[in-house]
A and B are shown apart, each in its own frame.
Chain A
């Protein structure tokens, strides 16, 4: 975890468990509570395989961030993971995503270019 330009970057571990998720939620809550945070970037590059339950848990980070009036961007989701989740009928909903961490940060700094919101 590191915070840069008031953006918190979190990396989801490869084999994600409910304990890991609880840890992620705690980190966001503790940093957000101090104030000054602009958004949260969730780096999913380490995830090599995921089922819909794990995906829902990870994407719930966006809901938690919203409680603190923060935006969350999920990035670096692997092609195989995306394909598998879609085949399992997983619907990402209105979450923000990006291909790289840099793009995710840019998205948080320039929320006006979010196409889905237009």
Chain B
């Protein structure tokens, strides 16, 4: 569990599916937490040979330029070691803020919600979701 109030935050990275990792972020993201997230994610990618990381930021309180920069760094680092990052949970307010701040998320893949991110992640890893009849 994340313990946001006392500043010590755990970063649980879950292996959602073969080759797909999920990191749900809650609370605030500062430099120390961003560094911890990056290190944990990189280690988990290497350990699992994951191809896609879904970074769900729906629970992040404030997304300003500093937070966006942290997210970009995490995306670049994971890209370098061989995994794609999908940032999900971008609310309309966050999207407007990012545009108004002039933040270019470059080649980062973004989705409005977790289900869209999962769909993309499954496409990337070669899985298809079918409804049973």
Interchain CA distance A66-B100 in the complex, whole Å: 36
Chain A residues in 8 Å Cβ range of B106: 91
A85 within 8 A of partner (CB)? yes
**Number of A interface residues in the complex (CB < 8 A):** 28
Are A83 and B38 in contact (CB-based, < 8 A)?
yes
| Dominant SS among interface residues on chain A | mixed
Known: A97-B82, A100-B49, A103-B49. A82 touches B77 (CB 8 A): yes
Which chain B residues numbered 38 to 90 have a C-beta less than 8 Å away from chain A?
38-39, 42-43, 45-46, 49-52, 73, 76-84, 86
Q: Select the residue from A94, A98, A99, A103 with max chain B CB neighbours within 10 A.
A: A99
A62 interface hit (Cβ, 8 Å): no
Question: Is A81 in the interface zone, CB < 8 Å from B?
Answer: yes
Report Cα–Cα, A98/B80, bound state, in Å. Answer: 8
Interface assignment of B116: CB less than 8 Å from any CB of chain A = no
